[in-house]
Amino acid sequence: MKHILLSIALLFTGIFMQAQERKFISHYVFPEFVKGTVLMKNGARNEALLNYNSASEEMLFDKNEQVLAFSDATVNQVDTVFIAGKKFILMDGKFKEILHDSGYGLFAEHKCRVIPPGKPAAYGGTSQTSSSESYSSWSSDGRVYKLQLPDDFKVLPYTVYWLRKGGELRSFTSIKQVQKFYRSKKNRFKEYTDNNKVDFNDAESFARLIDFMETK
């Protein structure tokens, strides 16, 4: 009897964990709209429920359960957005998360690929359409602004990192690009990666690598 109860408990635990994992697989950076602060260039501070949509690449706010984007005029006057201990600034027309801003600048640009369900094809198969080709179709009805897309959509989040150093701005989309950038410090790079696991998709993990290469 105890074995049966244990098996049932483990089953429900597994279901709960899967549900939790699905909850955080989203085209939004945060699993829900979070109370944050928008600091304007004139010094004014505005509080709102905020989130960043990595599919539409917009900073959004929830006003009376209606999701809205900042107007162009407002965006141009924004200095910094603070959400859940994270800071975002506007660079080249897109909001980027600040990972480091002393001595050098390191920023994370949150993006994602959204793959809609495949269309019926010959012989009972399906064909997947690319996110770029189908974006207008699945966003036109407002689904892009919902926290969760239907279960038959696939969301593939990824990050583009930006390093600002000596007045130059360099982007990285893979760890190999980072290794090439620090080829003059290849021994130091090898020392760190041999002793530390670097997850390119984990901003904090990536930031620790860059900090080691830049400051040690």
Average pLDDT for the chain:
82
Res. 172: pLDDT tops 90 = yes
Q: Which of 111, 106, 105, 100 is nearest to 52 (CA)?
A: 111
Lowest mean pLDDT among 34-43, 118-127, 197-206: 118-127
Per-residue DSSP letters for 156-201? EEEEEEEEEETTEEEEESSHHHHHHHTGGGHHHHHHHHHHS---TT
pLDDT value at position 154?
86
Neighbouring residues of 176: CB distance < 8 A, sequence distance ≥ 6:
none
> Helix, strand or coil for residue 204?
helix
Write down the domain spans for the chain.
114-155
Amino acid 43: pLDDT: 96
- The C-alpha angle 129, 28, 128, rounded to 5 degrees, equals 10
Stretch 108-127: mean pLDDT: 68
Q: In which band, very low, low, confident or very high, does the pLDDT at 14 lie, cut at 50, 70 and 90?
A: very low
Note whether 68 and 146 are within 8 A (CB).
Answer: no
Listed range (82-86, 122-126, 176-180) with the worst mean pLDDT: 122-126
pLDDT above 90 as % of the chain: 58
Place 9 in a pLDDT band, splitting at 50, 70 and 90. very low
